[in-house]
């Protein structure tokens, strides 16, 4: 009798076959091959040196960019290179292995340019954080590396251009050779003019250093080519998503700048009781998103442009905005395949992806000038893009002072009718807008509060300009015809934090919408008290124009004062009397109490609001108090406050 019957053998073979089938094909559904593919891709592309060699580039322009300006400048410099018989590439330091910088001398006549913006309190931008950390820790040898830095910042901030200055200094310490002076761009003045003036002197210095000559080619070079799609499946077309296609339809955490969360608006109310401004309080529902935030963080929202302006651009240029297009990079090796998510329609690009409301920079005018058929108009556009004093003055008055956006320029230059695809290539990306969060996650774990003023003003040309984000947020009512209004958002962490010890007193100074983060702080101090924690003095200096018009959160603040959560509520109503009274006046009025809290009781000071005037005036008030009550000279008082900043006891969340 056989050991196995035929049935046994059949069953055994069947089971073995199924097992083999399962082992082989099970692997196919596992995501392992995808990871392998990704790894190969990352290793292949993290070497900017290999990429430069492969594509014959000898200039690399790195950018540290938070709002897109440094990236824009970097693109302009890499495009410039070909006018001098050189080849440039623009690069995001986050995407490359920056330790490879030491290999740059392997490429003949090579140069690294850094366009570095400073964010907040002298911090690096998100995309250059790793590079900054590496520079601080590293001891690389950059002998033979040639470089230059252009810094972007704002003079009204304490740490003006800190990131650019640091990169410039650190590269030299590591042995690199600076071939042109550090450029200083000031956004409080005219950043564009600073950049153009620096660039005008920079290229001749490069030519001299490398012994090359300008080719004289001034013609504009297209970076992208247009492809019109006639029969694309609608599911393959971007409709406003920032990153992954259809990411707004099937939302998946984690949520960040490339993958924002669509937060439903649960509250949208007007805060001011009267006056001609509209101050609003919004609440975004983050239930189920796994988003965490701390008091003092920022919420970033992605706004969309006014459909009236978008349609008008289409009318002026005589195009069908619903044409489906892709703009594809002519440099196939570039990491940046498209200027914005493609395929998309012109309408989607102008609504979601492109900045159509800020005055265009000079390079946009220069490139568009070729399409002006009227010689005088063409000449003026070229002049505004030049570095001649006359051209700079014309750009300042005609574009900047008159707040002309691209639509106003097209309307006021009737002979200028560029192809819409070139216009879309040149316009910068529409950026997320940051707001200080006006709530505490301890009290509102599933909700983020925003406090903002709606921007609307008349320009010198008689047009009405409206702030993109604030007007868009104003229209976001909790239910819109049965649909929930949503806002694409993510959280940006901040250094603006309550003291670690709840017993430390806090002094908060925030006029107008600068009250926002302090609503979160006060809520949190109240919550700590409820938990039975000992909480130090909580003092607020708040300023507005009129008590019965724009005293924001009046009821809540007075209630906090009544219950003792706020130890002192000091409010300056600047226009309720003949002489203007501001927060700095109230600080000086209670100087003894302020000095005791700061000098004896280890208080933490927080300033939020306008950087240009308020933050400076408040800082001066603290200098004066330190001089008068601490018996210090002016220089010692300045040093005293600087030390508080270094220790993290004097923090600012300011904007200009």
Residue 482 is assigned to a ligand binding site: no
Please identify which of the residues 92, 297, 421, 653 carries the catalytic annotation: 653
Residue 319: burial class (beta carbons within 10 Å; 0-12, 13-18, 19+): middle
Q: Is 424 assigned a ligand-binding role in the annotation?
A: no
Would residue 247 show up in a list of annotated catalytic residues for this protein?
A: no
Q: Is 568 annotated as a binding residue?
A: no
The verdict on whether residue 386 carries a ligand-binding annotation is no
State the DSSP string of 330-396: S-TT-S---SSSSSEEHHHIIIIIB--SSPPPHHHHHHHGGGB-SHHHHHHHHHHTS-SHHHHHHII
Catalytic-residue membership of 436: yes
- Residue 516 marked in a binding site: no
Q: Is 617 annotated as a binding residue?
A: yes
Residues 6+ apart with CB under 8 A from 542: 510, 511, 515, 518, 557, 569, 570, 571, 572, 583
Q: Does 436 show up as a binding residue in the annotation? A: yes
Establish whether 164 is an annotated binding residue. no
In the block, residue with structure tokens 């969340």: 653
- How many angstroms separate the CA atoms of 240 and 350, rounded? 10
Catalytic hit among 326, 436, 439, 494: 436
Please check if 126 is assigned to a binding site: no
Report the C-alpha gap between 372 and 413 in whole angstroms.
Answer: 8
153 marked ligand binding residue: yes
Query: Would you say 640 is a known binding-site residue?
Result: no
The Cα–Cα gap between 255 and 262 comes to 10
The answer to whether 70 is annotated as binding is yes
Which candidate in 115, 342, 544, 608 is catalytic? 608
Closest-CA residue to 443 (of 522, 534, 517, 537): 522
**Is 277 one of the annotated binding-site residues?**
yes
- Answer yes or no: is 604 a known binding residue: no
436 closest CA partner among 542, 506, 502, 510: 510
Q: How far is the C-alpha of 331 from the C-alpha of 224, rounded, in Å?
A: 8
198 marked as binding residue: no
**Phi, psi (deg, nearest 5) at residue 408:** -60, -40
* Rounded CA separation 466/37 (Å): 46
Q: What is residue 1's three-state secondary structure?
A: coil
d(CA 456, CA 464): 7
DSSP-derived secondary structure letter, 181: P
Q: Any known ligand binding at 655? A: yes
Is 366 annotated to bind ligand? Answer: no
342 marked as binding residue:
no
Is 179:146 a contact under the CB 8 Å cutoff?
yes
| 3-state DSSP assignment of residue 158 | coil
Q: Judge whether 636 is annotated as a binding position.
A: no
Tell me if residue 207 is catalytic.
Answer: no
Give the number of other CB atoms < 10 A from CB of residue 30. Answer: 9
Residue 120 annotated as binding?
yes
Is 468 marked within a binding site?
yes
In sequence order, what are the residues at sequence separation of 6 or more whose Cβ sits closer than 8 angstroms to the Cβ of residue 90? 61, 63, 71, 74, 75, 77, 78, 336
357 is in an annotated binding site: no
Which of the following is catalytic: 203, 398, 472, 655? 655
Beta carbons within 10 angstroms of residue 2's beta carbon: 7
99 is in an annotated binding site: no
451 is in an annotated binding site: yes
- Residue 148 in marked binding region: no
- Does the annotation list 581 as a binding residue? yes
- The answer to whether 655 is a known catalytic residue is yes
69 is in an annotated binding site: yes
CB within 8 Å of 566: residues ≥ 6 apart: 522, 538, 539, 540, 557, 560
Token representation of residue 552: 């924001």
**Tokens at residue 587, please?**
């600080």
Asked if residue 522 lies in contact with residue 565, where contact means CB atoms within 8 angstroms, the answer is: yes
Residue 159 is assigned to a ligand binding site = yes
- Largest alpha-carbon pair distance within the chain? 117
Do 590 and 493 touch, CB atoms closer than 8 A?
no
Q: Cα separation of 226 and 230, whole Å?
A: 13
Residue 494 annotated as lining a ligand binding site: no
Q: Which residues are catalytic?
A: 436, 608, 653, 655
Question: Could you tell me which residues are annotated as the binding site for NADP(+)?
Answer: 277, 513, 574-575, 580-584, 617
Question: Could you tell me which residues are annotated as the binding site for FMN?
Answer: 65-70, 117-120, 152-161, 187
Question: Could you tell me which residues are annotated as the binding site?
Answer: 65-70, 117-120, 152-161, 187, 277, 433-436, 451-453, 457, 467-470, 513, 574-575, 580-584, 617, 655
Question: Could you tell me which residues are annotated as the binding site for FAD?
Answer: 433-436, 451-453, 457, 467-470, 655
């Amino acid at each position: 009798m056989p050991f196995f019957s035929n049935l046994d053998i059949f069953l055994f073979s069947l089971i073995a076959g199924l097992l083999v089938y399962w082992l082989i094909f099970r692997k196919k559904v596992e995501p392992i091959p995808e990871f392998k593919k990704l790894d190969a891709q990352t290793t292949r592309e993290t070497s900017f040196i290999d990429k430069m060699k492969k594509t014959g580039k000898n200039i690399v322009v790195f950018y540290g960019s938070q709002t897109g300006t440094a990236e824009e400048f970097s693109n302009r410099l890499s495009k410039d290179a070909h006018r001098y018989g050189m080849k440039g590439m623009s690069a995001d330091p986050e995407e490359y292995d920056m330790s490879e910088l030491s290999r740059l001398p392997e490429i003949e006549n090579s140069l690294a340019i850094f366009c570095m913006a400073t964010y907040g309190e002298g911090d690096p931008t998100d995309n250059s954080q790793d590079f900054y950390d590496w520079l601080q820790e590293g001891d690389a040898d950059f002998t033979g590396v040639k470089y230059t830095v252009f810094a972007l910042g704002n003079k009204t901030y304490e740490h003006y251009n800190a990131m650019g200055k640091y990169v410039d200094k650190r590269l030299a310490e590591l042995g690199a050779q600076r071939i042109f002076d550090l450029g200083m761009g000031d956004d409080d003045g005219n950043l564009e003019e600073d950049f153009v003036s620096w660039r005008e002197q920079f290229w001749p210095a490069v030519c001299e250093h490398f012994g090359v000559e300008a080719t004289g080619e001034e013609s504009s070079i297209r970076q992208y080519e247009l492809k019109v799609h006639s029969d694309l499946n609608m599911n393959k077309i971007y409709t406003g998503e920032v990153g992954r296609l259809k990411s707004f339809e099937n939302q998946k955490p984690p949520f960040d700048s490339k993958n924002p969360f669509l937060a439903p608006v649960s509250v949208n109310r007007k805060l001011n009781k009267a006056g001609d401004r509209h101050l609003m309080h919004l609440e975004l529902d983050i239930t189920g998103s796994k988003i965490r935030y701390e008091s003092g963080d920022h919420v970033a929202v992605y706004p969309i442009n006014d459909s009236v302006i978008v349609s008008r651009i289409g009318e002026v240029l005589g195009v069908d905005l619903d044409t489906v297009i892709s703009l594809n990079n002519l440099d196939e090796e570039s990491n940046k395949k498209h200027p914005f998510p493609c395929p998309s329609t012109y309408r989607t690009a102008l609504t979601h992806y492109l900045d159509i409301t800020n005055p265009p920079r000079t390079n946009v005018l220069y490139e568009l000038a070729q399409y002006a058929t009227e010689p005088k108009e063409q000449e003026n556009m070229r002049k505004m893009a030049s570095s001649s004093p006359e051209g700079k003055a014309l750009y300042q008055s005609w574009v900047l002072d008159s707040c002309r956006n691209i639509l106003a320029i097209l309307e006021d230059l009737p002979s200028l009718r560029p192809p819409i695809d070139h216009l879309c290539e040149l316009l910068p990306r529409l950026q997320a807008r940051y707001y200080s969060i006006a709530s505490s996650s301890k009290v509102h774990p599933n909700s983020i509060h925003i406090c903002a003023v709606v921007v609307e003003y008349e320009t010198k040309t008689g047009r009405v300009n409206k702030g993109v984000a604030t007007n868009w947020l104003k229209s976001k009512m909790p239910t819109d015809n049965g649909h929930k209004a949503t806002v694409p958002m993510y959280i940006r962490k901040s250094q603006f934090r309550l003291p670690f010890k709840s017993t430390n007193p806090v002094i908060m100074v925030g006029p107008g919408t600068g009250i926002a983060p302090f609503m979160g702080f006060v809520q949190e101090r109240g919550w700590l008290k409820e938990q039975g924690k000992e909480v130090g003095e909580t003092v607020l200096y708040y300023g507005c124009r009129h008590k019965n018009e724009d005293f924001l959160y009046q009821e809540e603040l007075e209630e906090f004062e009544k219950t003792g959560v706020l130890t002192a509520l000091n409010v300056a109503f600047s226009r309720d009397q003949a002489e203007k009274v501001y927060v700095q006046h109230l600080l000086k009025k209670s100087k003894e109490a302020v000095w005791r809290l700061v000098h004896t009781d280890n208080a933490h000071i927080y300033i939020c609001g306008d950087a240009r005037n308020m933050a400076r005036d408040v800082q001066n008030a603290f200098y004066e108090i330190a001089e008068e009550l601490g018996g210090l000279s002016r220089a010692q008082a300045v040093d005293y406050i600087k030390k508080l900043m270094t220790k993290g006891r004097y923090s600012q969340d300011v904007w200009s």
